[in-house]
Amino acid sequence: SNDSKTLISGSGDGTLRLWDLPSGLLRKTLSGHTDEVNSLAISPNGKILASGSLDNGIRLWSLPEGEELKEIKEHTGSIWSLAFSPDGHVLASGGGLSDHSIKLWTIPDASPIQTLNGHKGLIRCLSFSKNGQLLVSGSGDNNIKIWQLSDGRELKTLKGHQGLINSLIFKPDGQMLISSSVDKTIRLWNIADGKLLKKLDKHKDRVTAL
């Protein structure tokens, strides 16, 4: 959690657990999902937890209480990624193998804003730029897309990875995007023109996190 008092975990058993830090004691178990919990995101103000599952659903929970606020069941496939915009007003969700869409939701009422289509594989990772103007998505189609949040327009597609994109992070100044893939590489991209700056290829297996 944003105040460093709680650790939140999502499990293959469909539950989320809230742990007290630093004691490590279990504070609460959150039930509702009927399949594996794949993704978690906490709003910037620390008051809302979003969880995404293989049951095709997204659930919003209050923090620190852990009360369920809303269930969203608009995706036609499993949920593989979630991200809050920096101002906390928008939640982005990425669909799985049978649903390649990205959906944007208002927070806290979870009203649909827009659906972003263009990927041909599951949406494995999502990241907002620090200024909240851009959303980037990494997919099982091996591509990264940069979207303009204000109108949902696709600005660029970054090609080069030879496998599913596992993770995406912005450099703090917002000028560089860093991606990792099952192709065993990390790639550094210039956001302004979408050009590849550098490829890091010393790993001997897929790069799962950044």
3-state helix, strand, coil in the chain (%, to 5): 0, 50, 50
Residue 70, exposed/middle/buried by CB under 10 A (0-12, 13-18, 19+)? middle
Cβ(170)–Cβ(129) below 8 Å: yes
Cβ(137)–Cβ(144) below 8 Å: yes
Per-residue pLDDT in tens (0 to 9) along the chain, 210 residues: 988 999 999 999 999 999 999 899 999 999 999 999 999 999 999 999 999 999 999 999 999 999 999 999 999 999 999 999 999 999 999 998 889 999 999 999 999 999 999 999 999 999 999 999 999 999 999 999 999 999 999 999 999 999 999 999 999 989 999 999 999 999 999 999 999 999 999 999 999 999
- Enter the tokens of residue 141: 């189609």
Cβ(121)–Cβ(77) below 8 Å: no
Question: What's the pLDDT at 80?
Answer: 95
Q: Which residues pair with 9 in a beta bridge?
A: 17
DSSP 156-209: EEE---SS-EEEEEE-TTSSEEEEEETTS-EEEEETTT--EEEEE---SS----
- Which residues touch 65 (CB under 8 Å, ≥6 apart)? none
